[in-house]
Amino acid sequence: MANRLAKESSPYLLQHAHNPVDWYPWGEEALEAARKLDRPILVSIGYAACHWCHVMERESFENPGVAAIMNERFINIKVDREERPDVDHIYMDALTSMTGSGGWPLNVFITPDGKPFYGGTYSPPEAFHNRPSWTDVILAISKAWQERKEELLQQADNLTQHLVQANRIGEGDTVGSDFHSEQLTHMAQGLLKNADKKEGGFGRAPKFPQTFSIAYLLRYAARYMDKSVRYASLREVLNWKWKEGAPELQAEDALRQAVLSLDKMIEGGIYDQLGGGFARYSTDNQWLVPHFEKMLYDQALLVTVLAEAYQLTGKKEYAVTIRETVSFLERELMSAEGGFYSALDADSEGEEGKFYVWEKGEIEALLGSDAALSCDWLGITSEGNWEGINIMTKSRDRQELLEMGYCDQDSEKLAARLEEIRVRLLAARESRIRPGLDDKQLVSWNALMNTALSKACAATGEASYRHLAEKNMDWMLRVFAGPDSSLLHTYKLGKAQIPGFLDDYAYLVQALINLQEITGRPELLEEAKKLTEVILREFSSEESPLFYYTGQQQKDVIVRKREVYDGAQPSGNAVMAFNLRYLGIVFERSDWSRRSESMTGQMAGSAVRYPGSFGCWAMEMMGWVDGCAEIVVVGPEADVLRNEIMANFIPYKVLQSATRENPAYPLLRHKPSAPDTLIYLCQSYNCLRPESAVGRFLEQL
């Protein structure tokens, strides 16, 4: 028999719709039931692609005996963390305050007025390795509520007050914005201190891509390199030319670590060698064994940093990886309307990774005479590299395969043969039972992907990425539109719902900015301006330049948080610092630029101390140190020259282009072009002599 979740649209909630647990969705009905019955509330938070969420459901929530205890003693609420990230943020903060760590499934016990007093993550069905069983947990909580309720209520009040106090970041005295290059070097050193210089990435397993750290190191290296030099392989990094007076060791190490990290991920099991796309993280230091779910935001952030790395280095592997990942998205995560779905599950047929792994015998049966090459290329062995089976990796590069005698040492012939092998294996894999699809669509994640497509188009010149971004943007602006220029957060089955969060607005404004740069369409800037005005109205406070995560109309959470850390996705506040600075220049709004500077100043100390957690703020600080290039392209060939400029790595810029001068925008005023198309390099609206050739303009830059 179905429970209340059967009426929901979230794939994660629908996965629990036939549990014997009497689940409620998040809302006033559940809180009112708890108040009426004087029961504690269990808030169980997860997401559709979460492996351990599935495990706990099978072991405990599908168990009638366990469900009977839960139904008798608690009001039970299921939350999709991606549908209600505000609820997830609050109770994850509570859990980490209580235990020092977090994760999903997140199970938090709260009072009828929403205040947390106890929490944990996965609990097994039987006690194991000093971890109590789920039944032990719920019986203990129930007993404590019956016998020591006043103590628990006091504990909940204290914890909630702690959450409120911890969220007052940016309030109080105004912080100065004295940004300087020594801070930039200190942050680079901090990232490199935590770097895995053998396998790439940062820290130890489990290893996440940490794209913001990689992006910062690319920018740091670019400050000191001779832009006329590009390289084709990691081995050539030390032969680069560096500017006189550069801190060469740090700059070289920054570049080396950024490239090593990307290369190791592309070669490893975290990257789908057949179908393209990246898993969420690696469970080992070598990027071999992923947690197999594929999240839309990971594809977006990795495509973005790969595009920037390609602009800087010209490494062809990065353009290939972008192409394969975008192909995966179009094939498996894109709707006919032009929107991107949220995720693919880690599991299929009840086993994690089953869809992606191979036995050597399968390869031999499928490929015949090509099997030996395939196995040498993709690391396939009889013993396997993970639990007796094979996760595909690029265990040998093409040069190594040529040296082994394949394809008569003909590189073009080898490339064609490897592509044929990939296509044949991918086609064979399509006959398997597929992982589950989380088919809700979020404006925030779609906006991140839209930015990635614009960045990929700029870096590679591939027009199909621009067409895809424009189709996706038109779709987002249509389906997520709410009343009074507001945004709604999630969309499924023709219906958008839930008021938008700061990330939704901030990422969409950023996407509009980036799409404008590659298209020259001024209406995109007007849309970005309109959304920014909504953000300033609905998410601001008098006490701090930083924005709240929820709008002022959102009343069903106990704390109105300000999110400043970079987690799996960038801080919405850091993105807004970028947006306000950019749009402040475009629309000559010095108040927006000042707010951006103030926001960045508030977070500078944290970024310098902990650059791995504040990578987007670190990048904003570099922008204030180095200044912002104002680039204007005007004339009949504006599209051609703009595309040529965009192929270069120029991270701190405002770029507008048009076929003729446009007095509506300060940078486009008084910019005659005829008969030639001219490029203007400006700062604070003061421009150098215009150039008609991109090469001469780059010398100016």
Determine the average pLDDT of the residues in 43-66. Answer: 94
Q: What is the pLDDT of residue 553?
A: 87
673 backbone dihedrals φ, ψ, rounded to 5° = -130, -35
Q: What is the pLDDT of residue 674?
A: 73
Residue 68 has pLDDT above 70, yes or no: yes
**Using 50, 70 and 90 to split pLDDT, how confident is the model at 155?**
very high
| β-pair partners for 496 | 491
The tens digit of pLDDT for each residue in 534-579 reads 999 999 999 999 999 999 988 889 999 999 999 899 999 999 999 9
Fold held by 181-269+441-626: Glycosyltransferase (1.50.10)
Q: What is the pLDDT of residue 408?
A: 82
CA-nearest of 85, 98, 695 to 440 is 85
Residue intervals of the chain classified under CATH 3.40.30.10 are 4-166
Residue intervals of the chain classified under CATH 1.50.10 are 181-269+441-626
CA-nearest of 569, 326, 294 to 443 is 569
Q: How many CA atoms lie within 13 A of 266 on its CB side?
A: 23
Determine the average pLDDT of the residues in 81-88. Answer: 95
Residue 241 has pLDDT above 80, yes or no: no
Q: What is the pLDDT of residue 230?
A: 46
- Overall size of the chain counted in residues: 701
Q: What is the pLDDT of residue 340?
A: 98
**Using 50, 70 and 90 to split pLDDT, how confident is the model at 232?**
very low
Residues of the chain above pLDDT 70, percent = 96
SS (H, E, C) 570-595: CCHHHHHHHHHHHHHHHCCCHHHHHH
22 backbone dihedrals φ, ψ, rounded to 5° = -85, 70
Average pLDDT, the chain: 93
- Cβ atoms 112, 39 nearer than 8 A: yes
| β-pair partners for 497 | 490
Q: What is the pLDDT of residue 238?
A: 47
- Cβ atoms 479, 472 nearer than 8 A: no
**Using 50, 70 and 90 to split pLDDT, how confident is the model at 174?**
low
Q: What is the pLDDT of residue 343?
A: 96
Determine the average pLDDT of the residues in 333-341. Answer: 97
Q: What is the pLDDT of residue 224?
A: 85
Classify 4-166 by CATH class: alpha beta
Determine the average pLDDT of the residues in 262-275. Answer: 97
Residues of the chain above pLDDT 90, percent = 86
**Using 50, 70 and 90 to split pLDDT, how confident is the model at 673?**
confident
Determine the average pLDDT of the residues in 422-443. Answer: 96
Q: What is the pLDDT of residue 231?
A: 43
Residue 235 has pLDDT above 70, yes or no: no
Residue 244 has pLDDT above 90, yes or no: no
- Cβ atoms 18, 7 nearer than 8 A: no
Q: What is the pLDDT of residue 227?
A: 57
Helix (H, G, I), strand (E, B) or coil at 299: helix
Determine the average pLDDT of the residues in 191-205. Answer: 95
Q: What is the DSSP letter of 664?
A: T
Q: What is the pLDDT of residue 391?
A: 97
SS (H, E, C) 447-493: HHHHHHHHHHHHHHCCHHHHHHHHHHHHHHHHHCECHHHCEEEEEEC
The tens digit of pLDDT for each residue in 15-43 reads 999 999 999 999 999 999 999 999 999 99
| β-pair partners for 487 | 481
Count CB-CB contacts under 10 A for residue 387: 10
Determine the average pLDDT of the residues in 378-385. Answer: 96
Count CB-CB contacts under 10 A for residue 431: 7
Q: What is the pLDDT of residue 169?
A: 81
The tens digit of pLDDT for each residue in 500-530 reads 999 999 999 999 999 999 999 999 999 999 9
Q: What is the pLDDT of residue 233?
A: 42
**Using 50, 70 and 90 to split pLDDT, how confident is the model at 176?**
low
Q: What is the pLDDT of residue 239?
A: 54
Helix (H, G, I), strand (E, B) or coil at 391: coil
SS (H, E, C) 517-543: HHHCCHHHHHHHHHHHHHHHHHCCCCC
